[in-house]
């Protein structure tokens, strides 16, 4: 039987690319998102690569919904070998951090950080329990951001939430190492997605001017392929590490 991976935020962007990349590695996919639009396209991408795709609506900031998500993952196809915490939102409005609202702060923290923590807790509890499936390599992945270490005052609430995600990944890495479950932190840079679409012109200019050493947009598939490599065990003697998928954006230079 094919191993199963659960991907949050699976209906578009990095989530869809991750589902496709994992299907190519031999995984069946369970996906969740806060809306259904785009889920059929993800299902088609997975099917084209020989995988099955199951989908469920879920707001990862809702703890009752998260508990139901874990129950569903185990009842649908007998559990999961891998979890990819991809669901995330940006700042409600980019601008002066002196104008950040509590609503925008709470939204980023609740979905990006709190959601990733409690989804991981719910799934990891079952993964370490006796009788958890072992159809393939097991792993947890957290999708943080280059903003986990690069400050961006025009979206301070987003950067703070992604910094929290990186620390959560390290904490889970320490806890799950004894159970043979590696945990990875993926840090995308400037990726062409719906989230970056509103500032595409600005980023295109900055990329052309050398924002990152590799002078092109990152694509969702760049991130999905990296996640699939880690989930499938390509780097077995690693846990808690941050993997930059950013065209070299993270390299400090004079």
Which residues are known catalytic residues?
158
Q: Which residues of 180-203 are buried (b: 16+ CB within 10 A; e: fewer)?
A: ebbbbbbbbbbbbbeebeeeeeeb
CA dihedral 21, 44, 122, 120 (to 10 degrees): 30
Is the alpha carbon torsion for 151, 152, 156, 161 positive or negative?
Answer: negative
Maximum Cα–Cα distance across the chain: 54
Task: For residue 245, give the H/E element and its range.
Answer: strand 242-245
Q: At what angle do helices 13-24 and 39-48 cross, to 10 degrees?
A: 20
Supply φ then ψ for residue 31, to 5 degrees: -125, 150
**Residues 6 or more apart in contact with residue 197 via CB below 8 angstroms:** none
Strand partners, 227: none
Give the torsion through C-alpha atoms of 215, 197, 17, 77, to 10 deg. Answer: 150
For residues 220 and 193, the answer to whether their CB atoms sit within 8 Å is yes
Task: Sort strands 53-57 and 82-85 into parallel, antiparallel or unpaired.
Answer: unpaired
């Amino acid at each position: 039987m094919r191993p199963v991976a659960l991907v949050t935020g699976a209906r578009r962007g990095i989530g869809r690319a991750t589902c496709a990349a994992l299907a190519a590695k031999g995984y069946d996919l369970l996906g969740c998102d806060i809306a259904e639009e785009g889920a059929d396209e993800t299902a088609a991408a997975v099917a084209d690569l020989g995988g099955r795709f199951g989908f469920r609506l879920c707001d990862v900031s809702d703890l009752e919904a998260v508990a139901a998500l874990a129950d569903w993952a185990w009842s649908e196809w007998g559990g999961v070998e891998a979890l990819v915490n991809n669901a995330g939102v940006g700042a409600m409005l980019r601008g002066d951090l002196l104008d950040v609202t509590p609503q925008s702060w709470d939204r980023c923290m609740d979905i990006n950080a709190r959601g990733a923590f409690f989804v991981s807790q719910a799934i990891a509890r079952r993964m370490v329990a006796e009788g958890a499936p072992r159809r393939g390599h097991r792993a947890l992945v957290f999708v943080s951001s280059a903003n986990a270490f690069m400050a961006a005052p025009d979206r301070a609430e987003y950067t703070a939430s992604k910094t929290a995600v990186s620390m959560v990944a390290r904490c889970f890495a320490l806890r799950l190492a004894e159970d043979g479950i590696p945990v990875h932190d993926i840090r995308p840079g400037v990726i062409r997605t719906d989230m970056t679409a509103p500032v595409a012109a600005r980023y295109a200019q900055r990329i052309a001017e050398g924002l990152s050493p590799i002078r092109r947009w990152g694509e969702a598939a760049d991130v999905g392929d990296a996640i699939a490599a880690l989930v499938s065990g390509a780097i077995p003697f690693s846990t808690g590490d941050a993997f930059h998928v950013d065209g070299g954006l993270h390299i400090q230079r004079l």
